[in-house]
Amino acid sequence: MEQSPRTDLKLLRYFLAVAEELHFGRAAVRLNMSQPPLSLHIKELENQLGTPLFVRHSRSVALTHAGKILMEESRRLLAMANASLARVEQIGRGEGGRIELGVVGTAMWGRMRPLMHAFLRDNPDVDVQFREKSPGMQQALLERHELDAGIWRMALDLPTGMVGIRLHQAAFLVAMPQDSPLASWSAIPLEALRNEYFVTLPSVHSDWSFLQRVCQAAGFSPMIIREAVEPQTVLAMISMGLGVTLMADSYAQMQWPGVVFRPLEEPIPADLYIVYQPTHTTPTAVRLIKALTQ
């Protein structure tokens, strides 16, 4: 059996006007058109659907059973279409939509957290999807336009076409067990960590690729004996005496039983940046960038 052609929304609007007025003349006035073309459009719709929608009398019309069902469905479909179009207009004005935001895990604490909380509270129609990725992966996804923006630390060497705005200054600290001999020091030389065991986050989801390069520049490779996906798991293992780690100073704002934080003698900056491509940034993403960079 040959499938009926798709009916466009205009024919459904014409049908709904006649169905609600039950009079072709009044429906034509409501639609600001003459009656003959309206009658032709209704006939076209009936031919497409293969069924009569009205019983036509000399002075009035009545809905067939199929017409009554189509009136209910037309109201629902047109309401959905209007809502969808209004949503698109809203997105175009930057008032709603979806944002694909890349982040490193440690970015979610510190000063960014209250700013993001305020943005989500003030923009309930915006759906922010947080995608925890390494800086290298975020950059690749930005180049493929699969992210609207990315957040990572020390985003200084960016490809042409990408812009990085510093969200705030930060530094990496040494996190260690409270009974570590290093805990008595006021500041730790990076060299002093040469023989320490490290507990880290996976490089693919964190700053650890960058930190490994920093250690190598100081003349050693960190001895990583454990990895954990969650920062709190890393800190829990440190509290049990399993090793030390380097972590952004935002984590020192919280109390971690059995863990102490100390600065490095020569600070390693951990400034947080938001990175995006101005030529491929939606109005909604621009609003988020402005909110985070206030």
Residue ranges covered by each domain of the chain: 9-92, 97-167+272-292, 172-263
Which tens digit of pLDDT belongs to each residue from 266-293?
A: 999 989 999 999 998 888 899 999 999 9
Contact 249, 270 (CB under 8 A): yes
Residue 133 vs residues 119, 170, 234: alpha-carbon distances, Å: 22, 20, 18
Residue 19 pLDDT: 93
Q: What average pLDDT score do residues 94-100 get?
A: 74
Task: Answer whether 97-167+272-292 and 172-263 agree in fold.
Answer: yes
List all residues 6 or more positions away from 105 whose beta carbon is below 8 Å from its beta carbon: 132, 201, 205, 206, 230, 231
| Helix ranges (DSSP H) in the chain | 9-21, 24-30, 35-49, 65-92, 112-122, 135-143, 208-217, 231-239, 283-292
Q: Does domain 97-167+272-292 have CATH number 3.40.50.300?
A: no
* Greater pLDDT, 212 or 1: 212
Which tens digit of pLDDT belongs to each residue from 227-270?
A: 988 888 999 999 999 999 998 888 888 889 999 999 999 999 98
Q: Does domain 9-92 have CATH number 3.40.50.970?
A: no
Q: What average pLDDT score do residues 20-47 get?
A: 92
- The CATH architecture annotation of domain 172-263 reads 3-Layer(aba) Sandwich (3.40)
Residue 209 pLDDT: 80
Q: What is the Cα–Cα distance from 134 to 82, expressed in whole angstroms? A: 40
Residue 5 pLDDT: 53
Average pLDDT, the chain: 88
Q: What is the Cα–Cα distance from 51 to 192, expressed in whole angstroms? A: 85
Residue 2 pLDDT: 47
Residue 18 vs residues 56, 129, 177: alpha-carbon distances, Å: 12, 45, 78
List all residues 6 or more positions away from 197 whose beta carbon is below 8 Å from its beta carbon: 223, 224, 225, 242, 243, 244
Q: What is the crossing angle of helices 208-217 and 135-143, to 10°?
A: 120
Q: Which of 223, 269, 227, 229 is nearest to 249 (CA)?
A: 269
Which tens digit of pLDDT belongs to each residue from 116-129?
A: 999 999 988 888 99
Residue 201 pLDDT: 84
- Verdict on whether the full-model pTM lies above 0.85: no
